[in-house]
Structure 1
């Protein structure tokens, strides 16, 4: 399982925490723990905030490297 699937599992856990699906948090917790085994920890070297304004809509984008 890759990190993208782990993030999907975390999203389902949040959905279940709202009471829509009672069994999702338990199942997702196991998936997240299994997904992170054997992976090296992430190293964040740079965080930048980028502000744009396309068509008068103010957007802030956070870039994490």
Structure 2
């Protein structure tokens, strides 16, 4: 997810420790509705970059669901 794309509809905070990555925040729909979300990945072996990409994918799916 590009920084500009993210700024368009997500206000969140990431956190990373060894084997742990999280993202929580507010996803805003095009109509202005706001939804809270939290994604926590624990005990995972992929790199932090891989976990962040998965979190970005989840946020995209969430936004697509709330747009329908």
TM over 0.5: no
**TM-score (normalised: structure 1):** 0.29
Larger-gyration structure (1/2): 1
Greater share of helix residues, 1 or 2? Answer: 1
Which protein, 1 or 2, shows the higher relative CO under an 8 Å CA cutoff with sep ≥ 6?
A: 2
